Amino acid sequence: MSTTDQGTTSPDQGTASPSWQWPESTWRGHVEAVRAGRPLRPERWPGGARVAVALSFDPDHETIPLRDGQTTPGLLAQGEYGARVGAPRVLDLLARSGIPATFFMPAVSALLHPQEARAYTRDGHELAVHGWIHERNTLLGAADERELVGRALETLDALTGQRPTGIRTPSWDFSDSTLATLLDLGFAYDSSLMADDEPYEILARGRPTGLVEIPVDWIRDDAPYFTMDRYGAVRPHSRPRDVREIWADEFDAAYRSGGVFQLTLHPHVIGHRSRLVVLRELLEHIGAHEGVWYATHADLARTVRAAAPVPENPEQTP
Ligand SMILES: [Zn+2]
């Protein structure tokens, strides 16, 4: 396969066969579909800060079991805990610390808890899109995914009067049509991918899109450390203070390099007593440093875009 075919041959060609039989255009095409482009870390953070701290919380609540059609009260109660107990504790901690955060909330969760959704924007936090019912977006057809993301956007806008500018896909992944959908709906940033520690511009088949990526990672997420499947054999519970050490190490390295420390938490996970104390201690550790800029993901995306302006007419179709 000639390398001049790159980008002109559908990556789907040959995927029915085993991967070791794929032509170069197939494996290269998959890799090039969505890729990290320009790094977007500015020379300096606002106010001369040395590090940017972007905290996020995903108030999924009942949508995790609902997404899979699981409707029993025991499973739903775990999500209910997030709304009744976890979210108020998180809001209280942020208010007392004076720290803004971003809340990626599935639309069904926001409809179940409209006062909570409004409390986020009322307190000066950012509310952003996290799917309709925490659907597994990589399994959806293009039309269904587009309709659900659009409906989620309109729902959060109607509930709070503030139009979200960012999205975190529920599955932390893209389908073949996710990127085109996000560009079409005018999102300024995504926070679902993992190609760097620092923000970058997303490329679609090698072309700049203008879409800012604020990368996540499972290392900086509470769920993998603390959650379990009731009927599964694995019990991956970690000691909360061990997890605090991992996150503090992540922050310390970001501080030394002048980068971004991004964290993803869930009210129904971190909101428990023995875990919230760890978040409080982490915020105290961060707060003991000079030159910390606390930013919502939208603020961060805006700042890195301004520092490294995107092309005038970014590619709108991947
Ligand atoms: Zn989620």
Spell out the domain ranges in the chain: 34-307
Q: 227: CA distance to ligand 1 center in Å?
A: 13
pLDDT(11) > 70? no
* Average confidence (pLDDT) over 71-79: 96
Q: Within 10 A of 313 (CB to CB), how many other CB atoms are there?
A: 7
Q: What is the structure's pLDDT at 105?
A: 98
Q: 167: CA distance to ligand 1 center in Å?
A: 11
Q: 170: CA distance to ligand 1 center in Å?
A: 5
Per the CB < 8 A criterion, the answer to whether 219 and 42 are in contact is no
What 3-state class would DSSP assign to 55? strand
34-307 folds as TIM Barrel (3.20.20)
Q: What is the structure's pLDDT at 15?
A: 64
* Average confidence (pLDDT) over 243-264: 98
- Cα 163 to the center of its chain, rounded Å: 17
Q: 47: CA distance to ligand 1 center in Å?
A: 32
* Average confidence (pLDDT) over 289-294: 98
Q: 43: CA distance to ligand 1 center in Å?
A: 32
pLDDT(314) > 70? no
Q: What is the structure's pLDDT at 230?
A: 82
Q: 60: CA distance to ligand 1 center in Å?
A: 5
Q: 86: CA distance to ligand 1 center in Å?
A: 15
Q: Give percent of the chain with pLDDT exceeding 70.
A: 92
Give the lowest-confidence range in 38-42, 64-68, 255-259: 38-42
Cα–Cα distance between 58 and 103 in angstroms, integer?
6
Q: Within 10 A of 124 (CB to CB), how many other CB atoms are there?
A: 12
Strand partners, 126: 102
Q: What is the structure's pLDDT at 232?
A: 84
Q: What is the structure's pLDDT at 12?
A: 52
Q: 151: CA distance to ligand 1 center in Å?
A: 17
Q: Within 10 A of 147 (CB to CB), how many other CB atoms are there?
A: 14
Q: Within 10 A of 71 (CB to CB), how many other CB atoms are there?
A: 10
pTM of the model: 0.92
| Arithmetic mean of pLDDT over the chain | 92
